[in-house]
Every structure is written in structure tokens, then in C-alpha cells.
Amino acid sequence: MKKSYVITLAILFPNKSKIPNRMKNDTTYNGWTNYATWRVNLELFDGDNEKWSYGSSDGMREFAELLIEESTDEGIGRDYAMAFLDEVNWQEIAEHYEEEELATA
């Protein structure tokens, strides 16, 4: 868990025993590493298998960053969107499409 989340949880739940189990143990989301990974895959890459058939995690991240830069103005909204991308497990998304390509070959 990242430091900022731990601090937030400590403020919200000073008695650790009152932290809901889901928050303590489960950080996955719909079978993906986390919510950010699931959401970015769903919104940007899901259904577009041919485009990502080589599973380039760096290329996927660059695409997402470029999309944000081109579709938003500088400011807090863009900053939050870019920070959200930092939470994405890009390797997991790339491997997903690599496995999918092998399965259909």
C-alpha cells in the first residue's frame, strides 16, 4: 500500500481493527491488479486487440499519456489523470493482449 493511502486509512480508521476487510486485504479489481489497471484497459484498449497485438507496455502508456495531453488543458484535471496512470500495471495489460493473441493464433 502506498504511503499516502496508509496515512488516509489511519486518519479514517484510527483503530486498525475497524478497517473493513475489503480495504485491508483486497486490492484487486475485476481480476486485474487494481481499479486503475482495469479502468484504463476497459476505456482505452478493450476491443481493440489488433492495435495492441505486440503487447508493448511502454507503447500503451505513451498512447494513454498522449491521449490525455491532447484532450485536456493543463491544470489539476490533467495532473490527476496523469497521476491515475501511475497506478496502472502496464505490464499486466500488455501480457493480457499477448496471451490473447497467442490463444487466437
- Kindly state whether residues 51 and 11 are assigned to the same domain: no
Are 52 and 8 members of one domain? no
The residues pairing with 32 across neighbouring beta strands, listed in sequence order, are 29
Same domain assignment for residues 18 and 50: no
Q: For 15-23, what is the mean pLDDT?
A: 49
Q: Which of 14-18, 48-52, 88-92, 98-102 has the highest mean pLDDT?
A: 88-92
Q: Are residues 52 and 15 in the same domain?
A: no
Q: What integer best gives the mean pLDDT of the chain? A: 78
Same domain, yes or no, for 9 and 41?
no
Helix axes 57-71, 76-86, angle to 10 degrees: 170
Integer angstrom CA distances of residue 22 from 8, 25, 27, 29: 15, 6, 8, 11
DSSP annotation of 13 reads -
Q: Tally the domains of the chain.
A: 2
Mean pLDDT, to the nearest integer, of 67-95? 95
Residues 36, 70 within the same domain = yes
pLDDT of residue 103: 79
pTM over 0.85: no
On whether both 9 and 57 belong to a single domain, the answer is no
Q: Which of 23, 27, 39, 44 is nearest to 88 (CA)?
A: 39
Give pLDDT, residue 52.
Answer: 58
